[in-house]
Structure 1
Amino acid sequence: MKKIKYLGMLLMMFAATASFVGCSEDDLDSKSIFDTNPIQRSEFDNWLLKNYVQEFNINFLYHYNDKEADQNYNVTPAQTDKAIAIAKLMQHMWLGAYVEAAGADFLKTYTPRVIQLSGSYKYDTNGQIVLGTAEQGMKVMFYGVNELDIDNVRVNSTDPYESKDTKPLDLNYWFFHTMHHEFCHIL
């Protein structure tokens, strides 16, 4: 009982002390803690703003963002030239295909809100390459973007599951198949 009494007295003394020192006049700094400078966008960023954000409300992320990446894996950022190629391919082979087949309203309703590119592959616990992931119906992550050979574009129409060692990579298997596969998870 004595312990409770002493604890109560200690709390009362703390409250009384805090009431005397807690109220002082602070001068506010006129400089904002928030960056008010206009965002510097590249030509590609402006293209993404028009063709992804304004058109479909999709945030297309190609710079490495640790908050968007899976922290359990070591991945590298996508190279800008490869990100540009993938963004344009996705616009025609994924978004355009669904707009043509089901309409823009369908795509605006069901498309993921974030597309994130990773330059390197993610490997699962068995050592298998993960080409993409779909997370919570809101985000699609594409891996291995830096493996795209822009100068040697190749589409294998006879063997969609060829060896992963064949270079240049087959766009059907490594990218288009993954785009549609991950969108099916979202749907």
Structure 2
Amino acid sequence: MADPYILVLFYSRGGKTAELAQFIAEGVESVAGIDARLRTVPSLHQNDVPSDYVAASTNDLRDCAGLALGSPTRFGTMAAPMKHWWEQTTPEWLNGDLVNKPACVFTSTTTLHGGQEATLLSMMVPLLHHGFILLGTPYTQAELHTTRSGGTPYGVSHWDQDQQAISRDEIVLARAQGKRLALTAQRLL
């Protein structure tokens, strides 16, 4: 039998949300006996470059032990492709397939006041409707006090000012969030 997995589901256009997803997956896979499954959602833009990642199916979602959900910030909410993907999950909602599974959220933005925290909170709404148990980043995580370009107790974030690299603090926070999610999923299995 295959190990249970955390679905790291994200949409990324500029690449920073995908990078955060990779670091979260590393944190997940630091926990023995649980895997990370990186998946994306299809773009709604015809001119977008195809993603290097496999598109998620609702089976990936239904069968996961937990979920890390990531999207770039678009006017304080998740990007349209991610919202569109969630709007297709009514059967899973009706069946209660996701009730009591742990989840966390993450985001990136190119503007300082672009709505990172609002995006994280808005991504939690469909998860609450599905019955997920939401996990944030606790203040016991030291890097939450030292980060200068991302963080938040709601979930990992990154401010991509002038295409700056994801900071050491953000990497540590992303890995810690993935590890916390995996450990919680194991306890709930």
- Normalized against structure 1, the TM-score is what? 0.30
- Normalized against structure 2, the TM-score is what? 0.30
Of Structure 1 and Structure 2, the greater strand share is in: 2
Of Structure 1 and Structure 2, the greater helix share is in: 1
